[in-house]
Amino acid sequence: MAGKLTRREVIAVGAGAVAAGLAGSVAARDAVATVERWGLHEVELTGEPTGNPFDVNLSAVFTDGRTTLEVPGFFDGANDGQGTWRIRFSPPGTGAWRWTSRSDLPVLNGRSGVVEAVAPGAGNHGPVGVVETFHFAHADGTPFRQLGTTSYGWTHQPEARRRETLETLKASPFNKIRMLVFPNASVKTNDDLAPFVRTGPGDKDWDFTRFNPAFFQRLDACVAALCEMGVEADVILFHPYDGRFGFDEMPADVDARYVRYVVARLSPYRNVWWSLANEFDVVKAKTADDFDRLGRLVQARDPHDRLRSIHNWRALFDNGRPWVTHASLQNGSAVIDDARAVLYRDVWKKPVVFDEVRYEGDIAERWGNLTGLEMVRAFWEGLVAGTYVGHSETFDNPDDDYWLGAGGSLRGQSAPRLAFFKAVMEAGPTPGFEPIDKWWERHVGGKAGQVYLRYFGEAAPDGWTVDIPRDGLTGGERFTVDVIDTWNMTVERLPGVMTLSQGATKYTWHDPERPVVALPSRPWMAVRLAREHA
């Protein structure tokens, strides 16, 4: 879907070549490299390391003459005494981008080249950003209507399981997945690949000054695979599910080194979002101020300016902090009722993503035993409130390796209904649904004067006495009427149109010829009015 993601430019020169002043001629030596706009261009530099190669400072300044970006590099392992460093760049615009490297290791300093960014291929819509305060869109303007899922540890599973997870995602409606960088100590199926070099047999015997490139190369590949499928990777940098490894209580300088390393590796993938933490307020060794500092570090080190958020348990983070691009909330209560969900929207004037609303499943923990009906309801309530929601599954099994922890396959009833939901969402207004007449028990989202979606949840009325809020209406507007069964996934277009005029009070409008839409006395129904354009 996304075309070829990466164009790798290999510049392998020894120390002697640098001494001979070959830097600067490298680009001229080859035909000019090309990469899609928003693709990933990788400069590979090799040389003999001195000292700890992870301590080498390396970056490259890329410029197209208008925009100049300093792009960090990173060490990616050594072979036969030759180290490999990489600088990954995702061009924000088309045209020629010239680069020059900066390093305190002479062999890596002063290199230069040029890469030509060409028009994006099919499926490459660019990175996702915030639009119209509360919504998302790709850089080319394509709406991004978030429909997320979570699988914390899918990247830490054996290869066959990872392939299964990707196949599941490909067949699913989900367009974003939350995933941990560090392993979740409680997932039994994890393999042994670790982010740091081991110094002994103990669970916490790590050399925190040396990363394990193989661990991160696998993570790269997982992110790239998601990118090629058009799935956003919400990469969780810290988490509290660490009874063993100590990655939740590293010293501050190690945290910062780790953040710089991951940002240098992953930010050039256009599908990356940064999640500073899962349940930040459960991470005992860090305060909200620590996460604020780390959030600012991500922002400062990421020339690609990917989306940034932080996920809570019981305490809300101050999502008003400037580095936070959207609210990533855990709250299963808020999405039971659109009139709850809508309350958070005004607070930070940023998009609200309910990234955790409890999970469809049957485990004893109360956060993991939603019915499929309840899981699906959360999305509809969130939609008419102008917010976005996330899914996951926790169906009990002897190994605790359900989708939430380890990926694999989906077993629940919600995923197909969420595909139907997604189709209704995508047929809605651009860039997204707005709550209509918030705070007045309307339970209507859409776009005033254009489209209205009234969701009835578990109520099972035999009809809806139409009460469309007046904003955006002047009288005489004509609307088609669809009756939607959100669980049985049907849309019934009623005959004729509804012509709106003021109703019994000045606040709500209706069609006096058709004041009621008949409904089948079943729960989980919705009605959609869509403006008929002549």
Which residues 6+ apart lie within 8 Å of 498 measured at CB? 466, 478, 479, 480, 481, 510, 511, 514, 529
Q: CA 14 to CA 239: how far, in whole Å?
A: 41
Q: Within 497-526, which residues bind a second copy (CB under 8 A)?
A: 505, 507
Which residue among 31, 366, 476, 533 contacts a second copy (CB under 8 A)?
A: 366
Q: Near a second copy by CB under 8 A, which window of 196-204, 206-214, 271-279, 342-350?
A: 342-350
Place of tokens 């690949």: 193
Strands 272-277 and 196-198: unpaired
Q: Does 487 bind a second copy (CB under 8 A)?
A: no
User: With CB under 8 A, what is the number of residues at the site for a second copy?
Assistant: 25
Does the footprint of a second copy cover residue 170 (CB under 8 A)? no
Name the residue nearer to a second copy (CB basis): 224 or 329. 329
| Of 138 and 438, CB closest to a second copy | 438
Among 187, 334, 415, 453, binds a second copy (CB under 8 A): 334
Which residue lies nearer to a second copy by CB, 25 or 133?
133
Phi-psi region of 128 (alpha: psi -120 to 50; beta: other; left: phi over 0): beta
Residue 352 Cα distances to 150, 320, 331, 481, 512, angstroms: 16, 12, 11, 29, 37
- In whole angstroms, the minimum distance from the beta carbon of 261 to a second copy comes to 32
Select the residue interacting with a second copy from 252, 347, 460, 516 (CB under 8 A).
347
Q: Using CA atoms in the order 322, 263, 344, 524, what is the torsion angle rounded to 10 degrees? A: 160
Residues 285-324 that bind a second copy (CB under 8 A): 314-316, 318, 320
The rounded distance, in Å, linking the Cα atoms of 41 and 90 is 6
List 88, 308, 311, 438, residue binding a second copy (CB under 8 A): 438
Please choose, out of 102-110, 113-121, 142-150, 434-442, the segment that lies near a second copy by the rule CB under 8 A.
434-442
The reply on whether position 332 binds a second copy by CB under 8 A is yes
Instruction: Decide: is 472 part of the binding site for a second copy (CB under 8 A).
Output: no
Partners of 529 in the β-ladder:
452, 481
Interatomic CA distance for residues 90 and 39, integer angstroms: 5
440 binds a second copy (CB under 8 A): yes
Q: Is 333 in the site for a second copy (CB under 8 A)?
A: yes
User: Phi/psi of residue 378, each to 5°?
Assistant: -55, -40
**Least distance from a second copy to the Cβ atom of residue 465, Å:** 16
Answer yes or no whether residue 441 interacts with a second copy by CB under 8 A: yes
Distance, in Å, from the CA atom of 50 to the CA atom of 79, rounded to the nearest integer, reads 14
Q: Is residue 534 a contact point for a second copy (CB under 8 A)?
A: no
The reply to whether 470 sits near a second copy by the rule CB under 8 A is no
β-pair type (176-180, 147-150): parallel
Distance CA 134, CA 146 (A): 12
- Token representation of residue 322: 């400037």
Q: How far is CA 47 from the centre of its chain?
A: 36
Interaction of residue 344 with a second copy, rule CB under 8 A: yes
CB of 332 to a second copy, least distance (A): 6
- Asked whether the bond before 268 is cis by omega within 30 degrees of 0, the reply is no
The one-character DSSP state at 65 is S
Rounded-to-integer distance, Cα 247 and Cα 238, Å: 8
**Closer to a second copy by Cβ: residue 110 or 461:** 461
CB nearer a second copy, residue 73 or residue 435: 435
Interacting stretch for a second copy, rule CB under 8 A, among 148-156, 165-173, 375-383, 432-440? 432-440
DSSP 495-515: SS-EE-EE-SSTTEEE-TTS-
Please tell me whether residue 364 binds a second copy under the rule CB under 8 A.
yes
Pick the piece of the chain touching a second copy (CB under 8 A) from 221-229, 332-340, 378-386, 483-491: 332-340
Beta carbon nearer to a second copy, 71 or 339: 339
Q: Is 280 in the site for a second copy (CB under 8 A)?
A: no
- What's 181's DSSP letter? S
Residue number, 111 or 377, with CB nearest to a second copy = 377
- Positions touching a second copy (CB under 8 A) are 314-316, 318, 320, 331-334, 336-337, 339-340, 343-344, 346-347, 364, 366, 438-441, 505, 507
